[in-house]
């Protein structure tokens, strides 16, 4: 009887990435689909990997796992029985052989030119199918946020858009739309990395996304990318770079044509000004954001990504960030309560972030009991273990211990 060895390496990798068994199964299936295969991995499959019942997955699953975690399969705790481990060079040779064999096979069966053209023609229907997948991805991002799976899925969608570019004939309109899709998907990967505090990866996604956006000629996606860059530098506490990046976004034509974009640009500028300690600039830009949002045509046609999150609740949330940075805790608390009261259902990640900020605002005013109660309300569900939320709760505990080291409430928090 062969002893079953629990796969601790895979378990640790999943914990680091914040992945559940079902989420890992979905991520692997996405990689399989993007590679042209059917996705048949379930949470039971993942459970077999974790318990050691399956010690060496199928080759396609191994390739997909490597893509999800961006590391060799052996680093995930999998071991091949019997024959020695296949080397990286062997795998590369095998892949080249398969590709070459496929090429030879294709040349033996000529396809009529008209059939080839029809098969390789790319149209707006292909773009629509990509955007439908993107809608699902955006919904998952706002539900969970910061997950490595979301970052990987967004990157895979960008690759799918670019593969359509290379596949065959398309009009210039379709080509521009595909570049816009690729830029938008890469921007989502960038945001997931920012949200998960994987800042080096976010910078790489930004470099690629900005190039793709330039090729698309779409100022809407250019706005998103440069606005994300402003948020990236704000999280890195580089306010000068953040203001410069956000100014690029605010100067784009879309910010002049559509007041919703103008409002978002002003609101994010206010959050950055909070880091500089400029209270006057914070109040002024928040005022501009509010005025623009009130002037906006709410029935206007806009991309799914901005419709999914930006409204009065998000404006108030950015105001919370700005006033917390300034140390204006009463104003921060008021905006936090307003944001939570207006927040749309389903934005679980956003709700957790605002609640963590509310706890900081209450603590800053010396209201220990409500602050601890607010913070403790966050420590019970998976979404509350989001990297940004976890960092804010760690900071909250440190501030609480500094403010009231001997308080029973501090002891209660530490025990909790």
In tens, the pLDDT along 350-370 reads 899 999 999 999 999 999 999
Task: Specify the pLDDT at position 288.
Answer: 97
pLDDT tens sequence across 222-238: 999 999 999 999 999 99
Task: Specify the pLDDT at position 86.
Answer: 46
pLDDT exceeds cutoff 50 at 111 = no
pLDDT exceeds cutoff 50 at 380 = yes
99-108: average pLDDT: 37
379-400: average pLDDT: 79
Is 248 inside any structural domain?
A: no
Phi, psi of 231 (to 5 degrees): -65, -40
322-351: average pLDDT: 93
When mean pLDDT is compared across 158-162, 224-228, 402-406, the lowest value belongs to 158-162
Task: Specify the pLDDT at position 241.
Answer: 96
Task: Specify the pLDDT at position 383.
Answer: 53
Task: Specify the pLDDT at position 120.
Answer: 64
Is 172 inside any structural domain?
A: yes
When mean pLDDT is compared across 38-47, 334-343, 345-354, the lowest value belongs to 38-47
Is 411 inside any structural domain?
A: no
10-30: average pLDDT: 75
Q: What percent of the chain has pLDDT over 90?
A: 43
Distance CA(105)–CA(93), nearest Å, equals 18
Distance CA(338)–CA(340), nearest Å, equals 6
Q: What percent of the chain has pLDDT over 70?
A: 83
End-to-end CA distance of the chain: give it in Å, rounded: 44
pLDDT tens sequence across 292-319: 999 998 877 888 888 888 999 999 999 9
Domain encompassing residue 136: 121-217
**Average pLDDT of every residue of the chain:** 83
Half-sphere exposure of 121 (CA within 13 A, CB side): 10
pLDDT band at 3 (very low <50, low <70, confident <90, very high): low
When mean pLDDT is compared across 23-37, 280-294, 349-363, the lowest value belongs to 23-37
Count structural domains, the chain: 1
267-293: average pLDDT: 97
Is 313 inside any structural domain?
A: no
pLDDT band at 384 (very low <50, low <70, confident <90, very high): low
Task: Specify the pLDDT at position 99.
Answer: 41
Is 286 inside any structural domain?
A: no
pLDDT exceeds cutoff 70 at 96 = no
pLDDT exceeds cutoff 60 at 82 = no
Task: Specify the pLDDT at position 30.
Answer: 64
Task: Collect all residues with Cβ–Cβ distance below 8 Å to 230 and sequence separation of at least 6.
Answer: 242, 243, 245, 246, 249, 268, 269, 272
When mean pLDDT is compared across 179-188, 384-393, 400-409, the lowest value belongs to 384-393
Looking at per-residue confidence, does 201 or 1 come out higher?
A: 201
Is 374 inside any structural domain?
A: no
pLDDT band at 379 (very low <50, low <70, confident <90, very high): low
Looking at per-residue confidence, does 87 or 320 come out higher?
A: 320
pLDDT band at 325 (very low <50, low <70, confident <90, very high): very high
Looking at per-residue confidence, does 128 or 399 come out higher?
A: 399
Is 155 inside any structural domain?
A: yes
Task: Collect all residues with Cβ–Cβ distance below 8 Å to 178 and sequence separation of at least 6.
Answer: 122, 126, 127, 130, 161, 162, 164, 165, 170
Is 136 inside any structural domain?
A: yes
């Amino acid at each position: 009887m062969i002893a079953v060895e629990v796969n601790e390496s895979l378990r640790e990798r999943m914990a680091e990435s914040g992945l559940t068994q079902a989420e890992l199964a979905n991520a692997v299936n996405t990689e399989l689909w993007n590679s042209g295969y059917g996705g048949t991995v379930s949470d039971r499959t993942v459970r077999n990997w974790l318990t050691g019942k399956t010690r060496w997955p199928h080759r396609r699953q191994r390739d997909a796992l490597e893509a999800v975690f961006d590391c060799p399969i052996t680093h995930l705790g999998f071991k091949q029985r019997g024959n020695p481990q296949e080397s990286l060079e062997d795998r590369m040779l095998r892949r080249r052989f398969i590709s070459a064999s496929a090429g030879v096979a294709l040349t033996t069966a000529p396809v009529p030119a008209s059939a080839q053209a029809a098969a390789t023609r790319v149209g707006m229907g292909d773009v629509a199918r990509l955007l439908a997948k993107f809608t699902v991805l955006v919904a998952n991002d706002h539900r969970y946020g910061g997950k490595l799976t979301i970052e990987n899925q967004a990157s895979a969608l960008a690759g799918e858009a670019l593969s359509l570019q290379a596949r065959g004939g398309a009009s210039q309109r379709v080509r521009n739309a595909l570049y816009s899709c690729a830029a938008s998907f890469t921007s989502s990967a960038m945001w997931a990395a920012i949200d998960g505090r994987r800042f080096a990866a976010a910078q790489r996604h930004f470099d690629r996304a900005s190039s793709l956006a330039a090729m698309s000629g779409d100022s809407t996606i250019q706005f998103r990318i440069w606005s994300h860059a402003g948020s990236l530098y704000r999280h890195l506490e580089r306010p000068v770079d953040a203001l410069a990046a956000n100014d690029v976004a605010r100067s784009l034509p879309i910010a002049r044509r559509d007041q919703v974009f103008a409002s978002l640009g002003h609101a994010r500028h206010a959050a950055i000004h909070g880091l500089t300690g400029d209270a006057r600039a914070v109040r002024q830009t928040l005022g501009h954001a509010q005025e623009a949002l009130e002037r906006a045509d709410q029935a206007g046609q806009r991309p799914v990504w901005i419709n999914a999150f930006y409204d009065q609740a998000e404006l108030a949330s950015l105001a919370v960030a700005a006033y917390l940075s300034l140390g204006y805790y009463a104003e921060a608390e008021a905006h936090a309560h307003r944001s939570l009261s207006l927040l749309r259902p389903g934005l679980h990640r956003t709700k957790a972030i605002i609640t963590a900020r509310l706890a900081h605002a209450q603590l800053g005013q010396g209201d220990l009991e409500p602050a601890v109660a607010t913070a403790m309300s966050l420590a019970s569900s998976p979404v509350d273990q989001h990297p940004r939320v976890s960092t804010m709760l760690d900071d909250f505990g440190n501030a609480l211990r500094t403010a009231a080291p001997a308080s029973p409430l501090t002891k209660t928090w530490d025990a909790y």
